[in-house]
Copies of this chain bind each other. A is one copy, B any other.
Amino acid sequence: MPSYTAPTKDMQFVLHDVLGASTQDIPGYEEMDRDFTGAVLEEAGKLAQEVLHPLNVVGDTQGCKLENGIVRTPDGFKEAFDQVRDGGWTALDCDTQYGGQGLPYLMQTGVGEILSSANMAFNMYQGLTHGAYSAIHAHGTDAQKAKWLPKMVTCEWTGTMNLTEPHCGTDLGLMRTKAVPQEDGSYRITGQKIFISAGDHDMSDNIVHLVLAKIQGAPEGIKGVSLFIVPKVLVDDDGNLGARNGVSVGKIEEKMGIHGNSTCVMNYDEAEGYLLGDAHKGMRAMFTMMNEARLGVGLQGYAQAEIAYQNARAYALDRLQGRDVTGTKNPDGPADPLIVHPDIRRNLMDQKSFVEGARAFVFWGAMMIDRAHRNADEDADGLISLLTPIIKGFLTDKGFEYATAAQQVYGGHGYIEEWGMSQFARDARIAMIYEGANGVQALDLVGRKLAQDGGKHVMAFFDMVKSFCKENAEDETLKAGFLEPLKAASKDLQSAAMYFMQSGMKNPNAALAGSYDFMTMFGHVALGLMWAKMAKTAGGMLGDDGADRDFLEAKIATGRYYMARQLPATGMHLSRIQSGPETVMELEPTAF
């Protein structure tokens, strides 16, 4: 059976030593001192280890079942959900006006990693609720907010997001779900939505569906889409639950993973719904919280790699197989532990250097989101908008890749379900697909974000790397294996951006055919920057009284691995991009 321990020490290092959270000039951050975040993370870790993680395999094995129109969650989920609710874990960064705790999104992100590592499928029930909460909070009327939010903050009522239909996912302009206005100002919603995570279940009194639909007579395409609140159970003006609405579950999908989460086909049959935000501006409303939602999915990617890594490491330290070619390490045993073998280490270092770099990237991104929201900082908003598709796309690609690599450490034991390694890979796989498939993230990055505000934000990113390298040119730690690789990788990335600008003007396919490579190399540069920051911090702390030298030296060594063994990927991606769009576009469709 797999195990999980919340990596609170690594988290605290990022939060305080690297990011200096409590010293940041962001409202609310003054509370975020080391003791406070430490206590919160420790408590979340306890919940994760004692309650959520033991249910991870249960959820995978039992899945959700549709019985007489009602979805039954796996054994123990309901009780665990009560504990999460009672512990206040659903309300961390919610508005205090509606019962939330008003903590920074950064705090929510740290906790989110822990809960997501421990049980991704389970944590999605509250994650989806949080997304729906954010949409209502941003676009609802005061009356709507007062009616829906307090119960959603506590997850007494959970939420969902309904976008996809059988014939359209990415291209939502093709949507067919209809909304017919009623005399009382409400709408009747009719249509079918698919792939609705947490679409139905038995863990809350009500479910607040946010549904995209077209109002009769709306403009064609994506500009005619509106967003509606459609509750499972109707709620009167005093907040009492009334009759069932015209919402039903068509079926539960059988999936590759996240079996503990109910992925439903939802049928809306003249269901009563209430317009959220402006008519025909549904996409805008839905996308208000997109940066957060996509950062949350990127987090899922590395969170699965983290738990997979923890277990691969444990197995590599424990399993005796073969001998160290440079000299036996376990002479009294029948063989040496796996970890003596260079290729096992190579694999583990790939995982470890990715996960720790990704954590720093996501925490730093969460701080940008806080800065954008709490300080109304447009530069921070622009920067995180640029980086969001990279956080989502790169971290979920790599998260899956390394969950799979962790599985490999187990040999045949990794392939059988008993050891739990297969589940981490199968669960991680979805994060590459939902909330915008990763190819769409690459398109968003290259087709939209790069040129946004005249390219200001990508220039800001390059400047950030450049300034960092300049300011730390004499840093002893960074001189040894950090600055040169970072500069080289950043230069490759700039060359790629330059290629897009020059060639993409003539032929947009020149940029689009290289979009995926660009997203990936950007991810490497971002993680390279994070590693340089972490190494600098760790190097600076080595001389402190009582410094935890083993921990700090391991950070630096792990960072050096990333620079030496991962950053060279940028050259390859640049070559691919510069090879041009011709080989990608040459074949006639019928010749595939």
Contact = CB atoms under 8 A, between A and B. Distances in A.
Interface of A: 164, 167-171, 174, 194-195, 253-257, 263, 313, 316-317, 320-322, 325-326, 334-335, 337, 339, 341-349, 352, 400, 404, 407-408, 411-412, 414-418, 422, 425-426, 429-430, 432-434, 437-439, 442-443, 447, 481, 507-509, 512-513, 515-516, 550, 553-554, 557-558, 560-561, 564-565, 568-569, 571-572, 575-576, 579-581, 583-592
Given A256-B426, A412-B434, A564-B583, A509 B342 contact: yes
B417 A255 contact: yes
B254 A515 contact: no
Contacts of A194: 412
A465 to B, nearest CB: 20
B418 A433 contact: no
Given A412-B195, A433-B414, A585-B342, A168 B321 contact: yes
B564 A579 contact: yes
A415 B428 CA distance: 11
A263 B416 contact: yes
A320 B166 CA distance: 12
Residue picked from A341, A345, A576, most chain B C-beta under 10 Å: A345
A514 B592 CA distance: 35
A323 B86 CA distance: 48
A398 B304 CA distance: 22
Q: What 9 A-B pairs are tightest by C-beta distance, nearest first?
A: A568-B575, A564-B579, A342-B512, A256-B422, A561-B583, A554-B591, A342-B513, A572-B572, A254-B417
Residue picked from A341, A352, A400, A571, most chain B C-beta under 10 Å: A341
B565 A579 contact: yes
A589 B171 contact: no
A508 B326 CA distance: 7
A591 B559 CA distance: 13
A583 B560 contact: yes
B415 A256 contact: yes
Contacts of A554: 587-588, 591
A317 B589 CA distance: 7
19 contacts: A168-B321, A170-B322, A170-B411, A253-B417, A256-B426, A325-B509, A326-B507, A339-B592, A341-B443, A342-B515, A343-B439, A347-B516, A349-B584, A352-B592, A407-B429, A561-B583, A565-B576, A568-B579, A571-B575
Contacts of A553: 591
Contacts of A407: 429
Residue picked from A407, A583, A588, most chain B C-beta under 10 Å: A583
Contact of A569 (B400, B433, B572): B572
Nearest to A348: B592
B342 A254 contact: no
Given A432-B408, A572-B571, A508 B415 contact: no
A254 B344 CA distance: 25
Contacts of A561: 583-584, 586
Contacts of A564: 576, 579-580, 583
Given A337-B589, A400-B404, A415-B434, 14 more contacts: A171-B320, A174-B334, A256-B417, A316-B592, A326-B507, A343-B443, A343-B515, A345-B513, A346-B584, A347-B439, A481-B583, A565-B576, A568-B571, A571-B571
Contacts of A558: 587
Contacts of A320: 167, 171, 174
Contacts of A418: 253-254
A569 to B, nearest CB: 5
A588 B416 CA distance: 30
A422 B335 CA distance: 37
Nearest to A579: B564
Contacts of A438: 408
A171 B322 contact: yes
Contacts of A325: 447, 508-509, 512
Nearest to A168: B321
Contacts of A352: 592
Nearest to A316: B592
A171 B335 contact: yes
A569 B447 CA distance: 25
A313 B592 contact: yes
A203 B408 CA distance: 32
A581 B326 CA distance: 13
Contacts of A256: 415-417, 422, 425-426
A429 B334 CA distance: 30
Given A554-B587, A565-B583, A586-B557, A346 B516 contact: yes
A149 B322 CA distance: 35
Nearest to A591: B554
A321 B416 contact: no
A568 B560 CA distance: 23
A557 B415 contact: no
Contacts of A426: 256, 426
A585 to B, nearest CB: 6
A168 to B, nearest CB: 7
Contact of A516 (B343, B508, B557, B572): B343
A562 to B, nearest CB: 9
